[in-house]
Structure 1
Amino acid sequence: MKNPNIYSLAMEALTELVPEINAAGADVGTVLPSLTEALTDLAPLPREALFFGIAEDGLPILLNLHDPIPGPLLVCADAGAGKTAFLQLAAQAMIEMHSPEDVQFGVLTGHPEEWRNFERAEHCAGIFAIHEQAAMDFVRSLGEWAHTNRSRQSVVFLLDDLSRIENADDDVKDTLRWLLLRGPSRHVWPIVALDPSDGERFLPWLDFFRTRIFGRTTDAAWAEAAARSARGGLDSLVAGSQFAMLEGSRWLKFWLPRLEEGGSSR
Protein backbone atom coordinates (compact mmCIF):
# COMPACT_ATOMS: atom_id res chain seq x y z
CA MET A 1 0.00 0.00 0.00
CA LYS A 2 1.55 3.27 -1.12
CA ASN A 3 0.32 5.43 1.73
CA PRO A 4 -1.95 3.86 4.38
CA ASN A 5 -2.79 7.29 5.77
CA ILE A 6 -3.76 8.93 2.48
CA TYR A 7 -7.48 8.91 3.31
CA SER A 8 -7.42 8.84 7.10
CA LEU A 9 -7.83 12.59 7.70
CA ALA A 10 -10.48 12.95 5.00
CA MET A 11 -12.53 10.00 6.30
CA GLU A 12 -12.25 11.19 9.90
CA ALA A 13 -13.38 14.69 8.90
CA LEU A 14 -16.29 13.30 6.89
CA THR A 15 -17.34 11.12 9.81
CA GLU A 16 -17.38 14.12 12.15
CA LEU A 17 -19.71 15.91 9.73
CA VAL A 18 -22.25 13.08 9.52
CA PRO A 19 -24.92 14.83 11.69
CA GLU A 20 -24.75 17.94 9.50
CA ILE A 21 -24.74 15.84 6.31
CA ASN A 22 -27.86 13.97 7.40
CA ALA A 23 -29.61 17.14 8.56
CA ALA A 24 -29.01 18.78 5.19
CA GLY A 25 -29.67 15.65 3.16
CA ALA A 26 -26.39 16.38 1.38
CA ASP A 27 -24.88 14.18 -1.32
CA VAL A 28 -21.35 13.30 -0.24
CA GLY A 29 -20.54 11.36 -3.40
CA THR A 30 -18.74 14.30 -4.95
CA VAL A 31 -16.27 14.55 -2.05
CA LEU A 32 -15.52 10.83 -1.86
CA PRO A 33 -12.75 9.43 -4.06
CA SER A 34 -13.75 7.45 -7.11
CA LEU A 35 -13.26 3.70 -6.98
CA THR A 36 -10.44 3.95 -9.51
CA GLU A 37 -8.70 6.64 -7.45
CA ALA A 38 -9.09 4.63 -4.25
CA LEU A 39 -7.73 1.42 -5.77
CA THR A 40 -4.79 3.32 -7.25
CA ASP A 41 -3.98 5.15 -4.02
CA LEU A 42 -4.36 2.06 -1.83
CA ALA A 43 -2.39 -0.25 -4.13
CA PRO A 44 -1.01 -2.80 -3.98
CA LEU A 45 -3.89 -4.76 -2.45
CA PRO A 46 -3.71 -8.53 -1.94
CA ARG A 47 -4.43 -10.48 -5.10
CA GLU A 48 -7.14 -12.54 -3.40
CA ALA A 49 -8.92 -9.48 -1.96
CA LEU A 50 -12.39 -8.21 -2.78
CA PHE A 51 -12.68 -4.48 -2.04
CA PHE A 52 -15.75 -3.00 -0.31
CA GLY A 53 -14.80 0.49 0.85
CA ILE A 54 -12.62 2.75 2.98
CA ALA A 55 -12.76 2.69 6.79
CA GLU A 56 -12.70 5.79 8.97
CA ASP A 57 -8.97 5.25 9.55
CA GLY A 58 -8.36 5.33 5.79
CA LEU A 59 -7.66 1.61 5.44
CA PRO A 60 -9.44 -0.58 2.88
CA ILE A 61 -12.27 -2.95 3.78
CA LEU A 62 -11.41 -6.29 2.15
CA LEU A 63 -12.70 -9.84 1.87
CA ASN A 64 -10.23 -12.67 1.32
CA LEU A 65 -11.80 -14.78 -1.43
CA HIS A 66 -9.62 -17.75 -0.44
CA ASP A 67 -10.75 -17.77 3.21
CA PRO A 68 -14.30 -19.16 3.65
CA ILE A 69 -14.54 -18.33 7.37
CA PRO A 70 -16.54 -15.05 6.97
CA GLY A 71 -19.20 -16.97 5.03
CA PRO A 72 -21.81 -15.33 2.81
CA LEU A 73 -22.44 -11.61 3.27
CA LEU A 74 -25.79 -10.02 4.09
CA VAL A 75 -26.23 -6.34 3.20
CA CYS A 76 -29.15 -4.71 5.05
CA ALA A 77 -30.35 -1.13 4.60
CA ASP A 78 -33.52 0.88 4.14
CA ALA A 79 -34.92 1.42 0.67
CA GLY A 80 -32.75 3.96 -1.14
CA ALA A 81 -29.90 3.62 1.37
CA GLY A 82 -27.35 2.06 -0.97
CA LYS A 83 -27.75 -1.73 -1.03
CA THR A 84 -27.57 -1.87 -4.83
CA ALA A 85 -24.76 0.70 -4.81
CA PHE A 86 -22.81 -1.61 -2.49
CA LEU A 87 -23.29 -4.60 -4.80
CA GLN A 88 -22.31 -2.55 -7.85
CA LEU A 89 -19.19 -1.24 -6.15
CA ALA A 90 -18.16 -4.83 -5.38
CA ALA A 91 -18.76 -5.81 -9.01
CA GLN A 92 -16.80 -2.88 -10.40
CA ALA A 93 -13.95 -3.55 -7.97
CA MET A 94 -13.77 -7.11 -9.31
CA ILE A 95 -13.53 -5.76 -12.85
CA GLU A 96 -10.75 -3.33 -11.95
CA MET A 97 -8.77 -5.60 -9.63
CA HIS A 98 -9.04 -9.12 -11.01
CA SER A 99 -8.68 -11.20 -14.13
CA PRO A 100 -11.94 -12.83 -15.30
CA GLU A 101 -10.08 -16.14 -15.11
CA ASP A 102 -9.76 -15.55 -11.35
CA VAL A 103 -13.07 -13.91 -10.41
CA GLN A 104 -16.48 -13.65 -12.07
CA PHE A 105 -19.83 -12.39 -10.84
CA GLY A 106 -23.47 -13.10 -11.57
CA VAL A 107 -26.41 -10.89 -10.64
CA LEU A 108 -30.04 -11.66 -9.80
CA THR A 109 -32.10 -8.48 -9.59
CA GLY A 110 -35.58 -7.08 -9.99
CA HIS A 111 -34.06 -4.12 -11.86
CA PRO A 112 -31.73 -5.45 -14.57
CA GLU A 113 -31.74 -2.04 -16.28
CA GLU A 114 -29.63 -0.72 -13.37
CA TRP A 115 -26.88 -3.17 -14.33
CA ARG A 116 -26.57 -2.45 -18.05
CA ASN A 117 -23.12 -0.93 -17.64
CA PHE A 118 -21.86 -4.24 -16.26
CA GLU A 119 -23.31 -6.81 -18.64
CA ARG A 120 -20.53 -6.57 -21.25
CA ALA A 121 -17.71 -7.05 -18.77
CA GLU A 122 -15.69 -10.22 -19.26
CA HIS A 123 -16.13 -10.86 -15.54
CA CYS A 124 -19.94 -10.94 -15.84
CA ALA A 125 -21.44 -14.44 -15.88
CA GLY A 126 -24.88 -12.93 -16.41
CA ILE A 127 -27.41 -10.40 -15.19
CA PHE A 128 -30.78 -12.04 -14.69
CA ALA A 129 -34.22 -10.59 -14.03
CA ILE A 130 -35.18 -12.50 -10.94
CA HIS A 131 -38.72 -13.29 -12.11
CA GLU A 132 -37.48 -15.03 -15.25
CA GLN A 133 -36.68 -18.72 -15.66
CA ALA A 134 -33.09 -17.89 -16.61
CA ALA A 135 -32.49 -16.59 -13.07
CA MET A 136 -33.66 -19.87 -11.56
CA ASP A 137 -31.52 -21.83 -14.01
CA PHE A 138 -28.51 -19.72 -13.05
CA VAL A 139 -28.91 -20.60 -9.37
CA ARG A 140 -29.18 -24.28 -10.26
CA SER A 141 -26.11 -24.14 -12.51
CA LEU A 142 -24.14 -22.26 -9.86
CA GLY A 143 -24.95 -25.01 -7.38
CA GLU A 144 -23.80 -27.66 -9.84
CA TRP A 145 -20.59 -25.74 -10.53
CA ALA A 146 -19.87 -25.37 -6.82
CA HIS A 147 -20.36 -29.09 -6.21
CA THR A 148 -17.69 -29.98 -8.77
CA ASN A 149 -15.35 -26.96 -8.60
CA ARG A 150 -11.74 -27.83 -7.87
CA SER A 151 -10.21 -24.67 -9.33
CA ARG A 152 -9.12 -21.46 -7.62
CA GLN A 153 -11.57 -19.37 -9.62
CA SER A 154 -14.20 -17.59 -7.53
CA VAL A 155 -17.75 -16.64 -8.48
CA VAL A 156 -19.41 -13.83 -6.54
CA PHE A 157 -23.19 -14.27 -6.52
CA LEU A 158 -24.92 -10.89 -6.12
CA LEU A 159 -28.57 -11.28 -5.07
CA ASP A 160 -30.55 -8.03 -5.02
CA ASP A 161 -32.71 -8.75 -3.03
CA LEU A 162 -33.43 -11.80 -0.87
CA SER A 163 -37.20 -11.18 -0.69
CA ARG A 164 -37.50 -11.77 -4.42
CA ILE A 165 -36.76 -15.48 -4.09
CA GLU A 166 -39.92 -15.95 -2.01
CA ASN A 167 -41.82 -17.40 -4.97
CA ALA A 168 -38.90 -19.39 -6.40
CA ASP A 169 -39.17 -23.13 -6.95
CA ASP A 170 -38.43 -25.23 -3.89
CA ASP A 171 -35.34 -26.78 -5.48
CA VAL A 172 -33.95 -23.30 -6.19
CA LYS A 173 -34.46 -22.28 -2.56
CA ASP A 174 -32.74 -25.49 -1.47
CA THR A 175 -29.82 -24.74 -3.80
CA LEU A 176 -29.58 -21.20 -2.44
CA ARG A 177 -29.53 -22.52 1.13
CA TRP A 178 -26.74 -24.93 0.18
CA LEU A 179 -24.77 -22.10 -1.46
CA LEU A 180 -25.14 -20.02 1.70
CA LEU A 181 -23.90 -22.93 3.81
CA ARG A 182 -21.17 -24.33 1.59
CA GLY A 183 -20.56 -21.85 -1.21
CA PRO A 184 -17.57 -19.92 0.19
CA SER A 185 -15.64 -23.16 0.80
CA ARG A 186 -16.24 -23.97 -2.89
CA HIS A 187 -15.28 -20.46 -4.07
CA VAL A 188 -18.87 -19.25 -4.50
CA TRP A 189 -19.49 -16.07 -2.51
CA PRO A 190 -23.13 -14.99 -2.06
CA ILE A 191 -23.56 -11.29 -1.29
CA VAL A 192 -27.23 -10.80 -0.55
CA ALA A 193 -29.21 -7.58 -0.09
CA LEU A 194 -32.25 -7.35 2.19
CA ASP A 195 -34.61 -4.48 2.98
CA PRO A 196 -35.61 -4.36 6.67
CA SER A 197 -39.24 -3.92 5.61
CA ASP A 198 -39.07 -7.54 4.43
CA GLY A 199 -36.89 -8.65 7.30
CA GLU A 200 -39.48 -10.24 9.58
CA ARG A 201 -40.43 -12.78 6.90
CA PHE A 202 -36.79 -13.67 6.33
CA LEU A 203 -35.47 -13.85 9.88
CA PRO A 204 -34.89 -17.65 9.58
CA TRP A 205 -32.56 -16.96 6.65
CA LEU A 206 -30.38 -14.65 8.73
CA ASP A 207 -28.83 -17.63 10.50
CA PHE A 208 -26.96 -18.43 7.28
CA PHE A 209 -25.01 -15.16 7.51
CA ARG A 210 -22.07 -14.73 9.87
CA THR A 211 -21.08 -11.46 8.20
CA ARG A 212 -23.78 -8.77 8.21
CA ILE A 213 -23.19 -5.34 6.73
CA PHE A 214 -25.59 -2.48 7.37
CA GLY A 215 -26.40 0.73 5.60
CA ARG A 216 -28.78 3.26 7.09
CA THR A 217 -31.50 1.35 8.97
CA THR A 218 -34.18 3.29 10.83
CA ASP A 219 -36.10 0.34 12.31
CA ALA A 220 -34.17 0.13 15.57
CA ALA A 221 -35.84 -3.05 16.83
CA TRP A 222 -35.20 -4.96 13.63
CA ALA A 223 -31.65 -3.62 13.36
CA GLU A 224 -30.91 -4.77 16.92
CA ALA A 225 -32.23 -8.25 16.15
CA ALA A 226 -30.41 -8.53 12.82
CA ALA A 227 -27.15 -7.03 14.06
CA ARG A 228 -27.24 -8.81 17.44
CA SER A 229 -26.23 -5.49 18.96
CA ALA A 230 -28.10 -2.43 20.24
CA ARG A 231 -25.26 0.07 19.87
CA GLY A 232 -24.72 0.43 16.14
CA GLY A 233 -26.24 3.86 15.54
CA LEU A 234 -27.36 2.47 12.19
CA ASP A 235 -30.08 5.11 11.83
CA SER A 236 -27.42 7.84 11.64
CA LEU A 237 -25.39 6.38 8.77
CA VAL A 238 -25.27 8.47 5.59
CA ALA A 239 -27.70 6.83 3.17
CA GLY A 240 -26.06 5.52 0.03
CA SER A 241 -22.48 6.17 1.10
CA GLN A 242 -21.79 4.85 4.60
CA PHE A 243 -21.99 1.29 5.94
CA ALA A 244 -21.07 -0.53 9.14
CA MET A 245 -20.30 -4.06 10.31
CA LEU A 246 -19.55 -5.67 13.64
CA GLU A 247 -16.00 -6.80 14.35
CA GLY A 248 -16.31 -8.65 17.62
CA SER A 249 -18.05 -6.13 19.87
CA ARG A 250 -16.88 -3.08 17.89
CA TRP A 251 -18.67 -1.40 15.01
CA LEU A 252 -16.48 -0.76 11.99
CA LYS A 253 -17.88 2.03 9.81
CA PHE A 254 -16.75 2.64 6.26
CA TRP A 255 -17.47 4.67 3.14
CA LEU A 256 -18.17 3.61 -0.44
CA PRO A 257 -16.04 5.29 -3.09
CA ARG A 258 -18.12 6.64 -5.93
CA LEU A 259 -18.53 4.89 -9.24
CA GLU A 260 -17.53 7.00 -12.22
CA GLU A 261 -20.80 6.43 -14.10
CA GLY A 262 -23.94 4.38 -14.17
CA GLY A 263 -24.00 3.43 -10.50
CA SER A 264 -27.21 3.07 -8.53
CA SER A 265 -28.05 5.13 -5.46
CA ARG A 266 -30.46 2.48 -4.17
Structure 2
Amino acid sequence: MSFKGKAIYNPTGKAAEYAPWACNFYNGCSNDCNYCYCKRGVMSHVWSPAPTLKKCFKDEEHATDVFIAEMEKNIDQLKEHGLFFSFTTDPMLPETLDFHMNAICLAINHNVPVQILTKRADFLHYWLFDENQIIHPEKKKLIAVGFTLTGCDEYEPKASLNVDRVKAMLELHKRGFKTFASIEPVISVQASYAMINAVSGWCDLIKVGLLSGGKRTYKPGEIQFLFEMLKADTRGSKFYIKDSMVEYLNLDREKLPTHFVNQDYNIFK
Protein backbone atom coordinates (compact mmCIF):
# COMPACT_ATOMS: atom_id res chain seq x y z
CA MET A 1 0.00 0.00 0.00
CA SER A 2 1.35 3.42 -0.98
CA PHE A 3 0.85 6.58 1.07
CA LYS A 4 0.83 10.00 -0.57
CA GLY A 5 0.22 12.81 1.88
CA LYS A 6 0.79 16.52 1.56
CA ALA A 7 4.05 16.36 3.53
CA ILE A 8 4.89 12.66 3.99
CA TYR A 9 4.79 10.09 1.21
CA ASN A 10 6.31 6.93 -0.26
CA PRO A 11 8.78 7.92 -3.01
CA THR A 12 8.68 6.12 -6.35
CA GLY A 13 11.12 5.71 -9.20
CA LYS A 14 14.74 6.77 -8.65
CA ALA A 15 13.86 8.53 -5.39
CA ALA A 16 12.77 5.21 -3.89
CA GLU A 17 16.42 4.11 -3.96
CA TYR A 18 17.13 6.67 -1.23
CA ALA A 19 14.28 6.03 1.16
CA PRO A 20 10.89 4.31 1.45
CA TRP A 21 9.45 7.32 3.31
CA ALA A 22 10.17 11.00 2.67
CA CYS A 23 8.95 14.48 3.59
CA ASN A 24 8.81 17.60 1.40
CA PHE A 25 7.57 20.95 2.65
CA TYR A 26 9.25 23.26 0.15
CA ASN A 27 9.99 23.41 -3.56
CA GLY A 28 13.03 25.23 -4.87
CA CYS A 29 16.53 25.73 -3.53
CA SER A 30 19.00 28.58 -3.24
CA ASN A 31 22.02 26.27 -3.74
CA ASP A 32 21.23 26.64 -7.47
CA CYS A 33 23.15 23.52 -8.60
CA ASN A 34 23.61 23.30 -12.36
CA TYR A 35 22.63 19.63 -12.57
CA CYS A 36 19.55 19.76 -10.29
CA TYR A 37 16.82 17.43 -11.54
CA CYS A 38 14.16 19.73 -10.05
CA LYS A 39 15.03 22.44 -12.58
CA ARG A 40 13.81 20.30 -15.46
CA GLY A 41 11.35 17.54 -16.12
CA VAL A 42 8.26 16.98 -14.00
CA MET A 43 9.42 19.29 -11.19
CA SER A 44 10.39 22.26 -13.34
CA HIS A 45 7.00 23.98 -13.06
CA VAL A 46 7.37 24.38 -9.28
CA TRP A 47 11.12 24.94 -9.06
CA SER A 48 12.39 28.35 -7.96
CA PRO A 49 15.84 29.74 -7.01
CA ALA A 50 14.61 30.16 -3.44
CA PRO A 51 12.65 27.70 -1.27
CA THR A 52 8.89 28.23 -1.54
CA LEU A 53 6.34 26.54 0.70
CA LYS A 54 4.27 24.02 -1.26
CA LYS A 55 0.92 25.40 -2.37
CA CYS A 56 -1.00 22.69 -0.50
CA PHE A 57 -0.03 24.40 2.78
CA LYS A 58 -1.63 27.64 3.98
CA ASP A 59 1.45 28.56 6.00
CA GLU A 60 4.18 26.91 8.07
CA GLU A 61 1.85 26.36 11.04
CA HIS A 62 -0.58 24.50 8.80
CA ALA A 63 2.30 22.50 7.30
CA THR A 64 3.41 21.47 10.78
CA ASP A 65 -0.11 20.38 11.75
CA VAL A 66 -0.39 18.30 8.56
CA PHE A 67 3.03 16.77 9.21
CA ILE A 68 2.10 15.71 12.75
CA ALA A 69 -1.19 14.16 11.59
CA GLU A 70 0.46 12.25 8.73
CA MET A 71 3.31 11.11 10.95
CA GLU A 72 0.96 9.77 13.61
CA LYS A 73 -1.12 7.99 10.95
CA ASN A 74 1.99 6.11 9.72
CA ILE A 75 3.93 5.98 12.96
CA ASP A 76 4.69 2.24 13.01
CA GLN A 77 6.08 2.23 9.46
CA LEU A 78 8.06 5.41 10.09
CA LYS A 79 9.60 4.02 13.27
CA GLU A 80 10.65 0.95 11.29
CA HIS A 81 11.99 2.62 8.14
CA GLY A 82 12.71 6.24 9.08
CA LEU A 83 11.93 9.49 7.25
CA PHE A 84 14.03 11.26 4.61
CA PHE A 85 14.34 15.08 4.31
CA SER A 86 14.02 16.14 1.44
CA PHE A 87 13.83 15.59 -2.32
CA THR A 88 12.57 18.98 -3.50
CA THR A 89 14.83 21.32 -1.51
CA ASP A 90 17.83 21.35 0.81
CA PRO A 91 16.39 21.12 4.35
CA MET A 92 19.42 22.86 5.89
CA LEU A 93 19.15 26.09 3.89
CA PRO A 94 19.43 29.18 6.12
CA GLU A 95 16.00 30.35 4.89
CA THR A 96 14.14 27.28 6.18
CA LEU A 97 16.49 25.77 8.76
CA ASP A 98 14.39 26.66 11.82
CA PHE A 99 11.24 25.22 10.30
CA HIS A 100 12.88 21.99 9.15
CA MET A 101 14.63 21.51 12.48
CA ASN A 102 11.28 21.82 14.24
CA ALA A 103 9.86 19.03 12.04
CA ILE A 104 12.97 16.89 12.50
CA CYS A 105 12.77 17.26 16.28
CA LEU A 106 9.07 16.38 16.22
CA ALA A 107 9.98 13.19 14.34
CA ILE A 108 12.80 12.05 16.62
CA ASN A 109 10.74 12.88 19.71
CA HIS A 110 8.21 10.37 18.31
CA ASN A 111 11.15 7.92 17.94
CA VAL A 112 11.09 8.21 14.15
CA PRO A 113 14.63 7.95 12.70
CA VAL A 114 15.51 10.76 10.31
CA GLN A 115 17.85 11.00 7.34
CA ILE A 116 18.86 14.50 6.23
CA LEU A 117 20.56 15.20 2.89
CA THR A 118 22.24 18.57 2.42
CA LYS A 119 24.91 20.56 0.60
CA ARG A 120 25.24 22.99 3.50
CA ALA A 121 27.87 23.16 6.23
CA ASP A 122 26.83 26.48 7.75
CA PHE A 123 24.06 24.96 9.89
CA LEU A 124 26.59 23.15 12.05
CA HIS A 125 27.32 25.84 14.63
CA TYR A 126 23.62 26.54 15.13
CA TRP A 127 22.89 22.86 15.45
CA LEU A 128 25.70 21.58 17.65
CA PHE A 129 26.54 24.51 19.87
CA ASP A 130 23.23 26.24 20.49
CA GLU A 131 22.79 26.66 24.25
CA ASN A 132 19.21 25.39 24.03
CA GLN A 133 20.40 21.95 22.85
CA ILE A 134 18.15 21.62 19.81
CA ILE A 135 18.91 17.90 19.62
CA HIS A 136 18.86 16.03 22.92
CA PRO A 137 21.96 13.82 23.27
CA GLU A 138 19.81 10.71 23.71
CA LYS A 139 18.20 11.33 20.31
CA LYS A 140 21.43 11.49 18.28
CA LYS A 141 21.13 7.80 17.48
CA LEU A 142 17.96 8.60 15.51
CA ILE A 143 19.63 11.04 13.10
CA ALA A 144 21.75 10.33 10.03
CA VAL A 145 23.14 13.36 8.23
CA GLY A 146 24.18 12.98 4.61
CA PHE A 147 26.15 15.37 2.45
CA THR A 148 26.13 15.44 -1.34
CA LEU A 149 29.81 15.35 -2.34
CA THR A 150 30.53 15.76 -6.05
CA GLY A 151 33.89 17.45 -5.56
CA CYS A 152 32.82 19.99 -8.19
CA ASP A 153 32.11 23.32 -6.49
CA GLU A 154 31.70 25.10 -9.82
CA TYR A 155 28.49 23.13 -10.45
CA GLU A 156 27.08 24.09 -7.02
CA PRO A 157 27.66 27.87 -6.98
CA LYS A 158 25.71 28.82 -3.86
CA ALA A 159 26.18 25.68 -1.75
CA SER A 160 28.88 25.23 0.86
CA LEU A 161 32.25 24.15 -0.52
CA ASN A 162 32.71 20.39 -0.75
CA VAL A 163 35.70 20.54 1.61
CA ASP A 164 33.55 22.32 4.21
CA ARG A 165 30.88 19.63 3.87
CA VAL A 166 33.52 16.96 4.54
CA LYS A 167 34.68 18.86 7.62
CA ALA A 168 31.08 19.16 8.85
CA MET A 169 30.51 15.45 8.32
CA LEU A 170 33.63 14.59 10.29
CA GLU A 171 32.53 16.84 13.16
CA LEU A 172 29.13 15.16 13.26
CA HIS A 173 30.75 11.72 13.15
CA LYS A 174 33.01 12.61 16.06
CA ARG A 175 29.96 13.71 18.04
CA GLY A 176 28.18 10.39 17.58
CA PHE A 177 25.83 11.04 14.65
CA LYS A 178 25.34 8.58 11.81
CA THR A 179 26.65 10.01 8.55
CA PHE A 180 26.31 9.17 4.87
CA ALA A 181 27.68 10.59 1.64
CA SER A 182 25.80 10.97 -1.62
CA ILE A 183 28.35 10.81 -4.43
CA GLU A 184 25.75 11.74 -7.00
CA PRO A 185 25.94 12.69 -9.68
CA VAL A 186 29.42 11.54 -10.63
CA ILE A 187 30.42 14.53 -12.75
CA SER A 188 34.17 13.92 -12.68
CA VAL A 189 35.35 10.43 -11.75
CA GLN A 190 38.57 11.86 -10.35
CA ALA A 191 36.72 14.39 -8.18
CA SER A 192 34.17 11.82 -7.00
CA TYR A 193 36.85 9.34 -6.01
CA ALA A 194 38.70 12.09 -4.12
CA MET A 195 35.52 12.66 -2.09
CA ILE A 196 35.07 8.93 -1.46
CA ASN A 197 38.69 8.61 -0.43
CA ALA A 198 38.29 11.54 1.98
CA VAL A 199 35.35 10.03 3.90
CA SER A 200 35.71 6.26 3.54
CA GLY A 201 36.43 4.41 6.76
CA TRP A 202 34.47 6.71 9.06
CA CYS A 203 31.39 7.65 7.03
CA ASP A 204 28.75 4.97 7.69
CA LEU A 205 27.33 4.71 4.16
CA ILE A 206 28.49 5.98 0.76
CA LYS A 207 25.99 6.10 -2.12
CA VAL A 208 27.22 6.46 -5.70
CA GLY A 209 25.10 7.40 -8.72
CA LEU A 210 25.80 8.56 -12.27
CA LEU A 211 24.57 11.49 -14.29
CA SER A 212 21.27 10.93 -16.07
CA GLY A 213 21.61 9.13 -19.39
CA GLY A 214 21.56 12.07 -21.78
CA LYS A 215 24.28 13.94 -19.88
CA ARG A 216 26.84 11.16 -19.56
CA THR A 217 30.15 11.93 -21.22
CA TYR A 218 32.35 9.48 -19.35
CA LYS A 219 35.55 8.27 -20.96
CA PRO A 220 35.73 4.57 -21.85
CA GLY A 221 36.58 2.48 -18.81
CA GLU A 222 36.57 5.22 -16.17
CA ILE A 223 33.32 4.15 -14.46
CA GLN A 224 34.62 0.57 -14.41
CA PHE A 225 37.81 1.92 -12.82
CA LEU A 226 35.76 3.72 -10.15
CA PHE A 227 33.85 0.52 -9.41
CA GLU A 228 37.10 -1.45 -9.06
CA MET A 229 38.33 1.14 -6.54
CA LEU A 230 35.12 0.73 -4.54
CA LYS A 231 35.47 -3.05 -4.57
CA ALA A 232 38.98 -2.73 -3.16
CA ASP A 233 37.96 -0.23 -0.48
CA THR A 234 37.50 -2.24 2.72
CA ARG A 235 38.22 0.52 5.24
CA GLY A 236 34.86 0.05 6.97
CA SER A 237 32.28 2.14 5.12
CA LYS A 238 29.33 0.49 3.40
CA PHE A 239 28.65 1.23 -0.27
CA TYR A 240 25.40 1.44 -2.17
CA ILE A 241 25.75 1.83 -5.92
CA LYS A 242 22.58 3.14 -7.49
CA ASP A 243 20.77 1.46 -10.34
CA SER A 244 22.26 3.97 -12.79
CA MET A 245 25.73 2.55 -12.14
CA VAL A 246 24.58 -1.07 -11.93
CA GLU A 247 22.91 -0.77 -15.33
CA TYR A 248 25.80 1.17 -16.89
CA LEU A 249 28.27 -1.58 -15.93
CA ASN A 250 25.79 -4.46 -16.30
CA LEU A 251 26.47 -5.66 -12.75
CA ASP A 252 24.79 -8.38 -10.72
CA ARG A 253 24.04 -7.08 -7.21
CA GLU A 254 24.02 -10.62 -5.84
CA LYS A 255 27.71 -10.99 -6.75
CA LEU A 256 28.96 -7.77 -5.16
CA PRO A 257 31.38 -7.94 -2.20
CA THR A 258 29.97 -7.95 1.32
CA HIS A 259 30.72 -4.26 1.96
CA PHE A 260 28.15 -3.39 -0.73
CA VAL A 261 24.56 -3.11 0.49
CA ASN A 262 21.14 -3.27 -1.14
CA GLN A 263 18.41 -0.64 -1.42
CA ASP A 264 16.71 -1.87 1.75
CA TYR A 265 19.81 -1.29 3.91
CA ASN A 266 18.85 0.47 7.15
CA ILE A 267 21.61 2.78 8.41
CA PHE A 268 20.07 2.82 11.89
CA LYS A 269 20.32 -0.95 12.47
- TM-score (ref. length: structure 2): 0.38
More strand by share: 1
Higher relative contact order (CA 8 A, sep 6+): 1
Normalised by the length of structure 1, the TM-score is 0.38
